[in-house]
Amino acid sequence: MKKLISLILAAVLLCSAIPVFAEETPAHVLVVYFSHAGENYNVGVIEEGNTAKMGNIIAEQMNADIFALEPVVPYPEDYDACLDVATREQQKKARPEYEGEIENWDQYDTVFIGYPIWWGSIPNIVYTFMEAYDFEGRTVIPFNTHEGSGQSHSQRDIEELLTGADVLQGLAIRGSKAQNDAEGTGEDVADWLKRIGLAQ
Ligand SMILES: Cc1cc2nc3c(=O)[nH]c(=O)nc-3n(C[C@H](O)[C@H](O)[C@H](O)COP(=O)(O)O)c2cc1C
C-alpha cells in the first residue's frame, strides 16, 4: 500500500513538474467603435471620446479585441463645426474612409458596434464599416452614447442593414456618464451583458 501511495505521489510530482504551454485562444469577440474626441456636448473638451470609454469597458468585460474607426480625414475638434460636417455627410449619404482594416475578421463570431448618436442617426463612417464586412451568421450587439436621444432608431437601422446577423438588444448610455462615471458605466454594462445572455 505504501508503495502504491509513493508511486501515485511520484506520478503527481512528475506531472506537475512538466511545464504546460497553454495555447492562447484567439478572441472570438470584437468591439468596433467610432468616437469623436475634442469639444463635445455637456462634457467640454475631451481627450478620449465618450463611446471610446464605453467601448473599452465592454472589451474589458468581454475579453474582446477592439478596433477604433479612425477617420482618414479627422472631424473638426470644434463642436459646431463637427455638427456641420455631420449634417453634410448625412445629406450626401457619404461613406467616409477610416484608417486600416480588421485583420482576421473570420475569427470573430460576435461583434459589438459602437457609435455616438449624430443627428438622431448612426454616423456615416460606421456605415462605411458595416457595408465593408460580411456579417452573415454573426451575433451583432449595438452600443451607443447620446445626450437625450437614447438609441434613437439605430437598433432598427442596424437590424435592417445586417439582415444575416442575429442582432441583440443594444445599450445606450449618456455620453456625460460614460465620460465621467467609469464605475456606473461598468455596472450598466455588466447588467446589460447579463440581460442579453453574454455574461453570468
Ligand atoms: C454631430 C453631432 C450630432 C449629435 N446629435 C445628437 C442627437 O441627435 N441626439 C443626441 O442625443 N445627442 C447628439 N449628439 C451628442 C452625442 O451623441 C454625445 O455627445 C455622444 O456621447 C458623443 O460621443 P463621442 O464622444 O463618442 O463622439 C451629437 C453630437 C455631435 C457631435
Q: Which atom of ligand 1 is nearest to the CA of 52?
A: 26
In CATH terms, the fold of domain 26-195 is Rossmann fold (3.40.50)
Give the pLDDT confidence score for residue 6 in this predicted structure: 56
Give the pLDDT confidence score for residue 15 in this predicted structure: 46
What does each C-alpha distance from 3 to 10, 13, 17, 137 come to in angstroms? 10, 15, 21, 57
Give the pLDDT confidence score for residue 17 in this predicted structure: 47
Give the pLDDT confidence score for residue 16 in this predicted structure: 47
0.75 exceeded by the pTM?
yes
Digit-coded pLDDT (tens) for 134-146: 999 999 999 999 9
Give the pLDDT confidence score for residue 65 in this predicted structure: 97
What does each C-alpha distance from 76 to 1, 19, 39, 183 come to in angstroms? 79, 53, 9, 30
The ranges of the chain with pLDDT < 70 are 1-23
Q: Which atom of ligand 1 is nearest to the CA of 42?
A: 19
Q: Best substitution site from 146, 179, 188 to test ligand 1's pocket, by max atoms within 8 Å of Cβ?
A: 146
**What distance in angstroms lies between residue 23's CA and the mean position of ligand 1's atoms?**
42
